[in-house]
Amino acid sequence: MVKNIFLFTGDDFLRERAVRGKIAEIKENSPEPDLSEVHLDGEELDNERLLEELFTPSLFAPGKLILIRRADRLPEEAGLIRLLEQGLPQGFFLLLSAEKLDRRSKLYSLIAERGEVEEFPRPDRRSLPRLVRELLREKGIELTEEALRFLLETIEPELHHLANEIEKLALYPHRGPLGLEEFQGLLFGGRGPGLFSFLEELGNRRPQALSSLRRLLNGGEEPNKLFFMIAGEVRALLAVKSLAGEGRNSQKIAAETGQYPWLVKRRLAQVENFSEDELIELIYLLHREDTRIKRGEAEPEEALHRIALAFIGWDGESSQNGQLAPSP
C-alpha cells in the first residue's frame, strides 16, 4: 500500500531538506503525470480551508500534494484527525512539518500508524561532521581533512550557516579536493589575513584589535561569523590553558583537542596573558552578549566592540582579581 501521509519533526534545516526530498520522490514515483502543490501554514489554517484542500481536486491536475508547515500550531487537531481517519482521496499526499509534535497525541499515533514519521534531532558536534560531509557530497565539493576541520571550527555550527557557505563554494570551479589555503581564500575572500590577525591581536591583548575589528566590519565581514570565531578562540584558549596546567605538552594537547599543532604552540604563548578565571569570565560575557542580541537588546556590532574591549581593557585591580574590567 502506497503511503500518502508524512510527518517531519526536529531540526529546521534537516526537516526542510527532508520535505524537499520527499516532494521530489513523490512527484517522481506518482502515477499521476501532474500533481498540484499547495503550501499551507498551520497557524493560519482553519478546518474549512483544510477540508477544502484535502477533498477538492485541482482543475488542472487529478492529484494534489499538500504541505502544512508549523503543523504543531494547528488550531484544532481534532478536525485533521477526523479527515485522516476517513482517508485521503486517491492521488492526494499530505506532508506535515513541525518542530515538535507530542508522541502521545492521537494525531502523532495516527500518522505513525498510517503513514511515515521522520524525526531529526538537532545536530551536535559528534553528528555535525557527517552531515557536513553529506552536504559537500551533494554539491560535488571535496575538501581535504584540514580544510574540513577548518570549516567546522570556523563557521557557526548551525546547518543553515554551513549550508550557505557550501552553496558559495559550489559556485567555484575546481577539480580535486580543496586544500586549506585555497579554501580559506574562498571562505573569507581578501579578508582572511585580517581576520586571523584580529584573533591573534585579541589573544595577545593588543589595543590594535579594536581598529582591526572596525576594518573587518566596514569591509563587510558578517558579525555573527566574527562572534562565533571569537567564542571558538576563547574555548580553545581555555582548553589549552587547562591541559597545559595539567602538565601536557603541545603534542598531547593537539592530540586531545584536535587543534592544529601550530595553533597549539601559538595559543600556549597567548594563554600566559590570561588567568583561567579570566577566560571563563570571557565565555560568560560572550554568552550574555549572545543572549542580548537574540532578545533584540543589543546590535551584534556593539556586542563585538564590548567583547574586544573586554579582551584588552583590563585595569590592574580587575586583572589581579581575575575579573573583566567594566565595559564603557
3-state SS, 246-274, equals CCCCHHHHHHHHCCCHHHHHHHHHHHHHC
Amino acid identity of 152? Answer: L
- What pLDDT is attached to residue 32? 67
In the DSSP assignment, the letter for residue 46 is -
- What pLDDT is attached to residue 16? 94
For residues 23-28, give the mean pLDDT: 90
Q: Is the confidence at residue 194, as pLDDT, over 80?
A: no
Q: Is the confidence at residue 21, as pLDDT, over 90?
A: yes
- Among 63-77, 177-191, 279-293, the range scoring the smallest mean pLDDT is 177-191
In the structure, what pLDDT confidence band is assigned to residue 289 with cuts at 50, 70 and 90? Answer: very high
The C-alpha atoms of residue 291 and residue 308 are separated, in whole angstroms, by: 17
The C-alpha atoms of residue 292 and residue 303 are separated, in whole angstroms, by: 9
For residues 282-306, give the mean pLDDT: 92
In the structure, what pLDDT confidence band is assigned to residue 34 with cuts at 50, 70 and 90? Answer: confident
Q: Is the confidence at residue 74, as pLDDT, over 50?
A: yes
Amino acid identity of 87? Answer: G
The C-alpha atoms of residue 193 and residue 269 are separated, in whole angstroms, by: 20
The C-alpha atoms of residue 78 and residue 84 are separated, in whole angstroms, by: 10
- How far apart, in Å, are the Cα atoms of 63 and each of 7, 29, 91, 235? 19, 13, 5, 54
Q: What domains, with CATH codes, occur in the chain?
A: 5-120 (3.40.50.300), 179-321 (1.20.272.10)
Tell me if 227 sits within 8 A of 304, measured CB to CB.
yes
- Among 65-69, 226-230, 294-298, 310-314, the range scoring the smallest mean pLDDT is 310-314
Q: Is the confidence at residue 136, as pLDDT, over 80?
A: yes
Q: What is the enclosing helix (H) or strand (E) of 35? A: strand 35-41
Give the distance from CA 60 to its chain's centroid: 39
- What pLDDT is attached to residue 63? 80
116-120 β-sheet, strand order: 35-41, 63-69, 92-98, 5-10, 116-120
Digit-coded pLDDT (tens) for 35-47: 888 899 988 887 7
- What pLDDT is attached to residue 269? 93
Highest mean pLDDT out of 148-152, 156-160, 215-219, 278-282: 278-282
Digit-coded pLDDT (tens) for 228-250: 889 988 999 999 999 999 999 98
Q: What is the enclosing helix (H) or strand (E) of 289? A: helix 276-294
Q: How many residues does the chain have?
A: 328
- Among 1-5, 172-176, 229-233, 269-273, the range scoring the smallest mean pLDDT is 172-176
The grid coordinates listed for 85 are 481517519
In 3D space, the residue among 36, 74, 32, 76 whose CA is nearest the CA of residue 56 turns out to be 36
Residues 6+ positions from 108 with CB-CB distance below 8 Å:
7, 101, 102, 117
**Alpha-helix residue ranges (DSSP H) falling in 59-144:** 77-86, 106-114, 128-138
The C-alpha atoms of residue 157 and residue 324 are separated, in whole angstroms, by: 27
Phi-psi region of 42 (alpha: psi -120 to 50; beta: other; left: phi over 0): alpha
In the structure, what pLDDT confidence band is assigned to residue 58 with cuts at 50, 70 and 90? Answer: low
In 3D space, the residue among 302, 296, 179, 304 whose CA is nearest the CA of residue 233 turns out to be 304
Longest dimension (CA), the chain: 77
